């Protein structure tokens, strides 16, 4: 039981790892002994976060724009220059868009659906070689970061975001059934309110948001890190195709 949640000696790649939920997960993985590679579109931010997180353990910056298949393939190639195997892939990079129904734009649809739904599939496809190589020794893990907005309905007019996250949850099940054949376990996490640039309400008005959450607080860094560590470690080996909701009870309150 002592090493049930250990990630010692494991390699991990986290997209959107320079801030918010991605950074929370990166810090948690490092604390558990993993070698962590983080990616984000903004190179300076990615480099700065990797330098800071390197105080906790080995953390390498791999800046990339994964919103296209070509970009996903480029990130896979950059990772391959460092490692031959990949134990843990966290598909966290995402975008949101809010616009009234009558005005909702194609740009607001394509940008969000491409990054939130298409990218997790094609980045996993691009990294399937290193994932299979790792899985030859021990189960490899893929973790998609979905959202509670893909589980229950948020009153905000974020149509493409809600659709992309609901689609990602179902894609998780479909990918899980295929990739478990290769000893690769696919699961997802659906976060609720965590302070981040994407969730500015939680970041800037935490007390007001907390009042609407049954647990009466927003998510903390360790809440997200703990959920990801569970799925990434041996503790989560027998959990396949599941979406772990980490929201303090919000989805139940929404009904």
**Catalytic annotation, pick one of 79, 159, 161, 238:** 161
Q: Dihedral, CA atoms, 114, 115, 121, 127, nearest 10 degrees?
A: 130
**Spatial separation of the C-alpha atoms in residues 52 and 187, rounded to whole Å:** 28
Q: Is 109 within 8 Å of 160 (Cβ atoms)?
A: yes
Q: Is 161 a catalytic residue?
A: yes
Q: Is 162 exposed, middle or buried (0-12, 13-18, 19+ CB in 10 A)?
A: buried
Alpha-carbon distances of 201 from 51, 163, 192, rounded to whole Å: 28, 21, 12
Q: Longest C-alpha distance within the chain, in Å?
A: 56
Edge to edge, the sheet with strand 59-61 lists 59-61, 35-39, 11-15, 88-91, 140-145, 184-191, 243-246
Closest CA to 86 of 163, 138, 152: 138
Which residue, chain included where needed, has tokens 């616009």? Answer: 99
Q: How many CB atoms neighbour CB 216 within 10 A?
A: 11
Query: Which residues are annotated as catalytic?
Result: 161
């Amino acid at each position: 039981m002592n090493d049930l949640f250990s990630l010692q000696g494991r390699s991990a790649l986290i997209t959107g790892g320079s801030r918010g939920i991605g950074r929370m997960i990166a810090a948690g993985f490092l604390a558990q002994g993993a070698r962590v590679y983080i990616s984000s579109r903004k190179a300076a931010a990615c480099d700065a976060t990797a330098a800071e997180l390197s105080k906790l353990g080995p953390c390498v910056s791999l800046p990339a724009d994964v919103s296209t298949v070509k970009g996903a393939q480029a990130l896979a190639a950059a990772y391959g220059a460092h490692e031959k195997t990949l134990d843990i892939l966290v598909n966290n990079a995402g975008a949101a868009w809010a616009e009234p129904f009558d005005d909702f734009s194609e740009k607001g649809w394509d940008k969000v659906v491409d990054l939130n739904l298409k990218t997790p599939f094609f980045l996993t496809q691009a990294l399937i070689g290193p994932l299979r190589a790792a899985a030859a020794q021990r189960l490899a893990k893929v973790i998609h970061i979905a959202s509670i907005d893909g589980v229950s309905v948020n009153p905000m007019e974020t149509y493409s975001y809600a659709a992309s996250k609901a689609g990602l949850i179902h894609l998780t099940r479909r990918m899980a059934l295929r990739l478990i054949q290769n000893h690769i376990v696919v699961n997802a996490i659906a976060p609720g309110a965590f302070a981040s640039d994407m969730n500015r309400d939680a970041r800037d008005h935490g007390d007001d948001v907390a009042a609407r959450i049954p647990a009466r607080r927003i998510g903390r860094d360790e809440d997200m890190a703990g959920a990801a560590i569970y799925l990434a470690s041996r503790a989560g080996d027998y959990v396949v195709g599941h979406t772990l909701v980490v929201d303090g009870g919000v989805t139940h309150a929404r009904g």
